[in-house]
Structures are given as structure tokens and as C-alpha cells.
């Protein structure tokens, strides 16, 4: 079977890039990834994006970016799966190489939230939920997370501030990431005094929407340039699972069924046990999602995910390092680019060049991107093989 090698990586800083066009953000990340790969020329481009038609008044990103980046004529398409768009685009790149029909694939995730401000952003994000039964009632993503968090706190008797450890971990790690939106650790008292966005979700429980682009080059080992000097990293598994779009259609809203199924399937395909995973890049769009993702993956029992971050340690309870370069909370949440950022960050860990955030001896990295409250879950396992 063909191994899919992650040959090149690139990323921009995550933040508010008011004066940079969406296409130029993507170009920066793509140029970095191509250079990092030793100059490989892609035969296909897969773009992960969530909201460009709504926020940037721009659809048809595949051809736009191929043209703008000097790749005119290649296969180029956009992949959309809400917050999992970048992960879904990465999967398409993986499948293209795995099939043997594409020799070199370029995957770029890009999002530009600052093309609009205020209510327009909330309205755009709401399009990723069930329009007829959720968005039309005025339910926002933050409001939905607040409903889930309230239920979680009640059902499992979680004390006030019980989820504080997750943003503490994220901000501690983000301090060591030069591309993170927030590069400063926070103290528990700062968390406890933060303003409420939608009770009980406070300012530090929600990842900030931000601009950014990240890119990876995928290929086969036999096509790598002779001067290629990076440790070899392969995508050992790629899976996707889906649940209902609307929360009210689920028997157990706190179960994150798709998140569980996608992790279990990925572990099976990679041929490894959960205990062999060295770090987990979860989709902490909200603090609660971190707890539910840990439970779904099997790192914690149901209702006990919050306990892993009780002490705010960087390696949750010493068991599994998470959000190693800040996660969505401190790095920022660049919409459809998120899953590609996770792949880039995992590659940095596996190459051993993650600086002060380095996970020692990392061989396997688990990354998970969620669309909405795990309505879509895309999982990849990256493995260092050389």
C-alpha cells in the first residue's frame, strides 16, 4: 500500500489580518509549504474553507487560488465541512495520493473572518448549524455550547470553574508558538473574572475567530527530492464520521458519537492502541468540546474529561499532551483552515522542532477537527517513520 508522506508545511500567523486578502494569506502558506518540500509541484489542490462565500463574497476558491499561486490548469476544488473543512480537505489530499491518481497534492486551509464585523460574522457562522430549526431561532454557536455546557455541569456535578484547566493549558502552550494569536499564559483568577459570553461560557471558554492560512504538501516517498532532509512523516490513518446536524435529533447530545467513531476507526487503520498516541490536537472551539473530545477518544470516562485538566498542567494529568501549540483557544480558530493548522503543528512535533512546546520522543500524533458540535469529525494519525 502507498504511504502518504507529509513532505512540506507552511502557515501564517493567526490573527486579524485586516489589510491582507484571503488569496494572499493562502499564497504565503502555499509558498512556504512548497519550499519546505524541496520544490515539489502539485498536480492537485484541495482548499479547506468554511465561510468565504458569506464573509468574503468569494466562492470558487479552488480556481482562484490555483490561478493566484501560479498553478493554473491543475485540478482544484474547495471542500466545506464547517469547522472540519481543513481536516476534510486534508483527507481528500490523502485519498488522492493513496489512490495513485495524483503524485503530489497541495492542501491549503484558509479563512478570513475580518472581511466582516459584528452581527454579520455571527450570521455567517450560524449557517453551519440547522437553519430551519436552530439558526432561525437565533441560536448561535456560543449559545449552543452554553446549553451543552450547562447540561454537562449539571449532569456530572462539575464544580464552578471545573473546565478552567483547558484554556489554562492552551494559553500556556500558545505562549511558545510564534504563530499563535495569543502568546501569554493566563492565571486561574483571570479566567474566573472573565466576562460571560453566554452563561456559563465565558470569554476564555470560547476560541476566537481569526484569519489565517496553513498548507501541506503530500506525496509518495519515492517522489521526494534527493536533498529532502526532514524526518519522514506519514499519514497513518484518515477517517471521517458524521452525526446529526441538529442537537435535538440526538439521543445523547453529550456523547459526541462521531468523534468517538472517527478516533476508533483511525486507531484501527493505523494499527495502534490509544496508549501509543503521544499527543492529541483536539478541536477546542469551546472548553467543553475539549472535555467531550477526550471522553469520546477514550482518554477519560464519560463525565470525567474535565478532571484531566483540573491542575492546568500542559500534559493533562500527565497522561496526554493536548493543544500543544495553543489549540484553537490560544492559536486562534481560523475556521476552515483549522484542520490544516493541526497537521502543520503535528508535523512540527514529529520533526522535533516545536521549541518550548516540544513533546519529547513523539512518534504518533492524533489530530481531530470538528464541524459544529461533532456533527462532522475528521481524524488523522500522523506517524514519524524516519
pLDDT tens per residue, range 36-45 = 999 999 999 9
Question: What is the reported pLDDT for 310?
Answer: 75
Using DSSP, state whether 231 is helix, strand or coil: coil
Contacts of 371 (CB under 8 A, 6+ apart): 81, 82, 83, 84, 85, 128, 377, 378
The string of DSSP codes covering 320-336 is EEBSTT-HHHHH-B-GG
Res 4 pLDDT > 60: yes
**Mean pLDDT for the stretch of residues 353-374:** 97
Question: What is the reported pLDDT for 383?
Answer: 98
Query: How does pLDDT run across 234-265, given as a tens digit for each residue?
Result: 999 999 999 999 999 999 999 999 999 999 99
| % the chain with pLDDT above 70 | 98
Nearest 5°: the CA angle 150, 154, 158 is: 95
pTM: 0.97
Query: How does pLDDT run across 281-328, given as a tens digit for each residue?
Result: 999 999 999 999 999 999 999 999 999 987 655 455 557 999 999 999
Domain 5-117+209-223: give its CATH code. Answer: 3.40.47.10
**Mean pLDDT for the stretch of residues 191-203:** 97
Question: What is the reported pLDDT for 131?
Answer: 94
Give the residue carrying C-alpha cell 464519560: 302
The domain ranges of the chain are: 5-117+209-223, 137-208+234-384
Question: What is the reported pLDDT for 118?
Answer: 87
| b/e sequence 80-118, b meaning 16+ C-beta within 10 Å | bbbbbbbbbbbbbbbebbbeeebbbbbbbbbbbbbbbee
DSSP state of 248: G
Contacts 24+ apart (CB under 8 A), 159-163: 161/188, 161/191, 161/192, 162/306, 162/310, 163/205, 163/287, 163/288, 163/290, 163/291, 163/306, 163/309
Question: What is the reported pLDDT for 314?
Answer: 46
User: Residues 375, 247: contact at Cβ < 8 Å?
Assistant: no
Question: In residues, how long is the chain?
Answer: 386
Question: What is the reported pLDDT for 78?
Answer: 98
Decide if 5-117+209-223 and 137-208+234-384 have a common fold. yes
**Mean pLDDT for the stretch of residues 24-50:** 98
The CATH architecture annotation of domain 137-208+234-384 reads 3-Layer(aba) Sandwich (3.40)
**Mean pLDDT for the stretch of residues 49-67:** 98
Q: What integer best gives the mean pLDDT of the chain?
A: 96
The Cα–Cα gap between 269 and 265 comes to: 6
Question: What is the reported pLDDT for 318?
Answer: 57
Question: What is the reported pLDDT for 313?
Answer: 58
Question: What is the reported pLDDT for 316?
Answer: 54
Give the residue carrying C-alpha cell 503521544: 278
Res 332 pLDDT > 50: yes
Amino acid at each position: 500500500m502507498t504511504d502518504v508522506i507529509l513532505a512540506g508545511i507552511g502557515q501564517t500567523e493567526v490573527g486579524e489580518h485586516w489589510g491582507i486578502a484571503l488569496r494572499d494569506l493562502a499564497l504565503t502558506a502555499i509558498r512556504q509549504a512548497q519550499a519546505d518540500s524541496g520544490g515539489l509541484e502539485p498536480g492537485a489542490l484541495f482548499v479547506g474553507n468554511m465561510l468565504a462565500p458569506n464573509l468574503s463574497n468569494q466562492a470558487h476558491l479552488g480556481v482562484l487560488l490555483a490561478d493566484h499561486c501560479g498553478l493554473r490548469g491543475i485540478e482544484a476544488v474547495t471542500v466545506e465541512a464547517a469547522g472540519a473543512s481543513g481536516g476534510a480537505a486534508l483527507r481528500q489530499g490523502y485519498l488522492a495520493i493513496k489512490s495513485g491518481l495524483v503524485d503530489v497534492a497541495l492542501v491549503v486551509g484558509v479563512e478570513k473572518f475580518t472581511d466582516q464585523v459584528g452581527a454579520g460574522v455571527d450570521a455567517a457562522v450560524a449557517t453551519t448549524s440547522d437553519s430551519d430549526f436552530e439558526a432561525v431561532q437565533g441560536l448561535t454557536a456560543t449559545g449552543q455550547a452554553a446549553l451543552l455546557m450547562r447540561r454537562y455541569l449539571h449532569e456530572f456535578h462539575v464544580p464552578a470553574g471545573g473546565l478552567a484547566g483547558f484554556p489554562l493549558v492552551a494559553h500556556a502552550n500558545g505562549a511558545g508558538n510564534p504563530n499563535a494569536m495569543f502568546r501569554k499564559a493566563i492565571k486561574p483568577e483571570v479566567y474566573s473574572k472573565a466576562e460571560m459570553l453566554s452563561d456559563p461560557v465565558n470569554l476564555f471558554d470560547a476560541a476566537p475567530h481569526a484569519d489565517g492560512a496553513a498548507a501541506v504538501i503530500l506525496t509518495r516517498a519515492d517522489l521526494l527530492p534527493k536533498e529532502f532532509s526532514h524526518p519522514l512523516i506519514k499519514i497513518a490513518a484518515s477517517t471521517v464520521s458524521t452525526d446529526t446536524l441538529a442537537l435535538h435529533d440526538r439521543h445523547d447530545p453529550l456523547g459526541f458519537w462521531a468523534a468517538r467513531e472517527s478516533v476508533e476507526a483511525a486507531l484501527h487503520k493505523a494499527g495502534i492502541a490509544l496508549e501509543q498516541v503521544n499527543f492529541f490536537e483536539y478541536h477546542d472551539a469551546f472548553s467543553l468540546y475539549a472535555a467531550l473530545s477526550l471522553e469520546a477518544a477514550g482518554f477519560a470516562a464519560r463525565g470525567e474529561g474535565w478532571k484531566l485538566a483540573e491542575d492546568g498542567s500542559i500534559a493533562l494529568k500527565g497522561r496526554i499532551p493536548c493543544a500543544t501549540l495553543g489549540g484553537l483557544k490560544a492559536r486562534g480558530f481560523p475556521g476552515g483552515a483549522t484542520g490544516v493548522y493541526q497537521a502543520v503543528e503535528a508535523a512540527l512535533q514529529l520533526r522535533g522542532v516545536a521549541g518550548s512546546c516540544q513533546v519529547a520522543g513523539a512518534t504518533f500524533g492524533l489530530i481531530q477537527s470538528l464541524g459544529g458540535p461533532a456533527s462532522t469529525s475528521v481524524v488523522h494519525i500522523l506517524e514519524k517513520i524516519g
